[in-house]
A and B are shown apart, each in its own frame.
Chain A
Amino acid sequence: QKEVEQDPGPLSVPEGAIVSLNCTYSNSAFQYFMWYRQYSRKGPELLMYTYSSGNKEDGRFTAQVDKSSKYISLFIRDSQPSDSATYLCAMSLYSSASKIIFGSGTRLSIRP
């Protein structure tokens, strides 16, 4: 069993829809939870990070962490074609920048 499980998709939604991306994990010791966006032929870029449980909002993006269920989510409101990318959930025991364990990524396509 992988430490972090993520549905690879692909996921295709119309422009303006709400997108929900999810990951489950097995290691209850994870403290840092991140979401990265990766465009084709680029490195991942950090979208949001959360320390421990709770919600965090940044513009159209909301990240949720439920440590009791070992489940994290990313919601994208009013999705745009420019949001089309691969979204990687990621976790770490140590910090938001160190020894990061990634999910396999969900490929998202927003149809105009």
Chain B
Amino acid sequence: ETGVTQSPTHLIKTRGQQVTLRCSSQSGHNTVSWYQQALGQGPQFIFQYYREEENGRGNFPPRFSGLQFPNYSSELNVNALELDDSALYLCASSLDRGQGTEAFFGQGTRLTVV
């Protein structure tokens, strides 16, 4: 196990609702990234937080937002859920943004939008 924990593991929401996913990073890690993995696809980068500041964003609309807390845990919020938001959401933590670091992934939250 990587030490990165995500909650909940599974979630079913209705289209138009809002959802909050949580990630507890590995001890000592100050960087958290979120990825969306649709079925049969590779993970897609949503955004990254470094010391509580957003530090880069992929091609996702503003209804995807996040937070990083002083203890470096993080939340992903998605507003106005759409059917296409159904996916595995992965959180990855790393020590910093420098070279030679490794991103450790959690097991993900499986979100189903109906």
Q: In the complex the two chains form, is B41's CB within 8 Å of A97's CB?
A: no
Interface size range on B against A: 20 to 34
User: Per-residue 0/1 for A75-112: is the Cβ within 8 Å of any B Cβ (1 yes, 0 no)?
Assistant: 00000000000001010001111111111110000000
Q: In the complex the two chains form, is A99's CB within 8 Å of B105's CB?
A: no
Please report the total number of A residues contacting B with Cβ < 8 Å.
Answer: 26
Tell me the smallest distance from the CB of A59 to a CB of chain B, in Å. 17
Question: What residue of chain B has the Cβ atom nearest to residue A46's Cβ?
Answer: B102
A8 to chain B: which residues have CB within 8 Å? 40
A42 to chain B: which residues have CB within 8 Å? 107
Q: In the complex the two chains form, is B2's CB within 8 Å of A45's CB?
A: yes
Instruction: Specify the main secondary structure of chain B where it touches its partner.
Output: loop
Residues 45-76 (chain B) with a chain A CB within 8 angstroms: 45, 48, 56, 58
Residue in A43, A49, A103 whose beta carbon sits within 8 Å of that of B42 in the complex: A103
A24 at the interface (CB under 8 A from B): no
Q: In the complex the two chains form, is B105's CB within 8 Å of A96's CB?
A: no
In the complex, what distance in Å separates the CA atom of A32 from the CA atom of B58?
18
B103 to chain A: which residues have CB within 8 Å? 46, 96-98, 100
In the complex, what distance in Å separates the CA atom of A8 from the CA atom of B38?
14
Q: In the complex the two chains form, is B56's CB within 8 Å of A99's CB?
A: yes
> Which A residues have a C-beta under 8 Å from some C-beta of B?
4, 6, 8, 32, 41-46, 49, 51, 88, 90, 94-105
